[in-house]
Structure 1
Amino acid sequence: MSLRPLFPQTRLRRLRYSKVVRNMVAETSLSADDLIMPLFVCPGEKVKNPIKSMPGNDQLSVDLLVEKCKDLYASGVKSVLLFGIPESKDEDGTVATHEHGIVQKATRAIKEVLPEMYIIADICNCEYTTHGHCGTIIDGDVDNDSTLVTLSAQAVSLAEAGVDMVAPSDMMDGRIGHMRAALDENCFEKIPIMAYSAKYASGFYGPFRDAADSAPQFGDRSTYQMDPRNSDEAMREVEADIAEGADIVMVKPALSYLDVIYRCKHEFNMPVAAYNVSGEFSMVKAAEERDWIDGQRVMMEIMTSIKRAGADIIITYHAQEVAEILNKR
């Protein structure tokens, strides 16, 4: 008995039999141009401190960081996000505002050798304060408004050193407007701001805190980072940052917040970045090491899911691996 009369006219598999056609009708595309690689710079020369919880990632002194940037650029990754590990820390993070700060040094060194590399500087105080919080502590809590002064000074200092973009990750209220005004007043009106707009108080940051030596010495960051239960609040954060002058808005982490990425893109039609954070990266690597998953396949599936959710830009520790796979394709 023929099934043809009983079968629907639409057969979705018709467009899946050929790889050529699958590529033609693919709804989501991933490119090395979408990727930003986070890097950690530390004092010294020829220093390479492996980050045990993040296989393949290291704290690098400026000289080795420049070499890493050369490798990244050759692979097709043309942008990096810099985090600094300073020689010394202070109570309010002013060490990050100094002309000869660690990220300022790294920026000048990279630009001297590889001027075409696009450098984004993370703007926050957690790596630079003795207490590990993202701002100035007053009466046992991070004081919002006094922290804005330090953050804006840090942004101006890094712009003077030659960064191409600043990315404030502190989650203080009003920081985008304050920073935009400070940059403009110092003739850096062309420097864009990528705002960590919806940054959640997440358990996925553990390996990063090892890498950046930025774990808080007391309490947690729940008074300034977002509650993972909220997405409407994230839209309010994004809306506020856009109104204050953000050029790109970011959701962090990525995988547990794909719904937030989707909402950001569709409700605001702004360039959206997603940070595929250290814990997300390390879970893949740990499972891959135990032969529980096909690491490359899962990595590419994750990247595609973030793009499919609506991200234009993906900040990821997988960046070079992903670019090299895309090059082969």
Structure 2
Amino acid sequence: MNQLVFDRHRRLRQNAAIRRMVRETTLSVDDFIYPVFAVEGENIKNEIPSMPGIYQFSLDRLDEEIDEVVALGIPAVMVFGIPDHKDAVGSGAYHDHGIVQKAIRQIKARHPELIVIADTCLCEYTDHGHCGVIVDGDVENDQSLELLAKTAVSQAAAGADIIAPSNMMDGFVAAIRRALDEAGYIHVPIMSYAVKYASSFYGPFRDAADSAPQFGDRKTYQMDPANRLEALREAASDVDEGADFLMVKPGLAFLDILRDLRERFDLPLVTYNVSGEYAMIKAAALNGWLDEKQTVMESLISMKRAGADLIITYFAKDAVKWLREG
């Protein structure tokens, strides 16, 4: 009788120790960036209803969140702000005493070693909720660039280690790089939201940051989810303009785009595990439909496997604790 000849792949899966030894992709605490939401007021720690476990903090309560992040060894936070005043041009975004600027100064004074990334956008600060200046019912690109550049410089002046522009205006990296350099912040890198899709997965974030558009949508400046080649053009433009990091947002629904960028560009690559992705897993876990730990870690490893060097995620604190458990 002829013996069957075939590969024995299962030999390398037979126990946990062997599986660890041959594991191709791993997660570590250094992979994570944790988003934080700073809000004006006093003694505020508001849980975001659509994002269980995530809170808005007033500055007098912010230290408790940042102290925990540092104690866990997470290397970086991304700071978002919710102002107490909004106007047509989002002036709170670039005011020296804006909520993000105050939060950055406070964080850096207490934890100078923590990397603070400033979200650089206008939507949280405009009364219309769009990411720039409105002219004739649409976001005017070049006027918006001027305000973005002012915002970036004010955030760098407050002590931000990295500027992360997210509004998807054409030329935003070039405008911000020039403004930072002219203001003397040549050492401050730009983490560009190079490929940001007009996604339904952002819904819970708009609750967290009070940034929903008051009319229309963002489809004239954020990308169509159906497009792949356009993402490569967007990323190439940002590389040419001086970006230091490239980001793909959202994460899970766009792993193919993440892989495309990894194969074509050698800059550090970031993905954002966005609020809707967080909320879906949380809701399923709270209903007993999914194992939260296993699902989260599988989701995060998929982003790393697709090519991400860094992952912005609301699960960062939990993920670090699970990694420590082994």
Matching residue of 1:6: 4
Cα distance between partner residues in 2 of 1:180 and 1:328? 42
Q: Aligned-pair RMSD on alpha carbons? A: 0.9
Q: Where do 1:114-125 residues align within 5 Å?
A: 114-125=111-122
Cα distance between partner residues in 2 of 1:277 and 1:108? 26
Matching residue of 1:193: 190
Matching residue of 1:76: 73
The one-letter amino acid of 1:86's match is P
The one-letter amino acid of 2:187's match is K
How far is 1:295 from its partner? 0.8
Please, which of 158, 161, 184 is the counterpart of residue 164 of structure 1? 161
Name the SS for the 1:83 alignment partner: strand
Please, which of 140, 144, 150 is the counterpart of residue 143 of structure 1? 140
The one-letter amino acid of 1:298's match is T
How far is 1:71 from its partner? 0.2
Mean CA deviation greater in 17-26 or 29-38: 17-26
Moved beyond 3 Å, runs of 4+: none
TM-score, normalised on structure 1?
Answer: 0.98
How far is 1:7 from its partner? 2.9
Mean CA deviation greater in 242-251 or 68-77: 68-77
Cα distance between partner residues in 1 of 2:184 and 2:63? 28
Deviations 1:279-316 (A, max 9, x none): 00000000001000101110000000000000000000
Please, which of 300, 307, 314 is the counterpart of residue 310 of structure 1? 307
Name the SS for the 1:121 alignment partner: strand
- Correspondence 1:216 to 2:213: yes
- Correspondence 1:31 to 2:28: yes
- Correspondence 1:40 to 2:46: no
Deviations 1:101-136 (A, max 9, x none): 001111111111111111000000000000000000
Paired-residue identity, %? 54
Deviations 1:36-92 (A, max 9, x none): 011110011221111000000011011221220110111121210011000101101
Cα distance between partner residues in 2 of 1:60 and 1:202? 26
Mean CA deviation greater in 145-154 or 105-114: 105-114
Q: Where do 1:170-181 residues align within 5 Å?
A: 170-181=167-178
The one-letter amino acid of 2:256's match is D
Name the SS for the 1:6 alignment partner: coil
Matching residue of 1:251: 248
Deviations 1:202-231 (A, max 9, x none): 000000001100000000000000000001
Can you give the 5+ residue segments of structure 1 that lack an aligned partner in the other structure?
none
- Correspondence 1:67 to 2:58: no
Name the SS for the 1:296 alignment partner: helix
- Correspondence 1:289 to 2:281: no
Please, which of 236, 240, 254 is the counterpart of residue 237 of structure 2? 240
The one-letter amino acid of 1:262's match is R
The one-letter amino acid of 2:37's match is F
Cα distance between partner residues in 1 of 2:84 and 2:32? 29
Matching residue of 2:101: 104
- Figure out how many residues of one structure are paired with residues of the other and give that number: 326
The one-letter amino acid of 2:150's match is A
Cα distance between partner residues in 1 of 2:279 and 2:96? 34
Cα distance between partner residues in 1 of 2:324 and 2:62? 23
Q: Where do 1:77-92 residues align within 5 Å?
A: 77-92=74-89
How far is 1:18 from its partner? 2.5
Cα distance between partner residues in 2 of 1:122 and 1:85? 12
Cα distance between partner residues in 2 of 1:265 and 1:64? 39
Cα distance between partner residues in 2 of 1:95 and 1:211? 17
Cα distance between partner residues in 2 of 1:126 and 1:34? 27
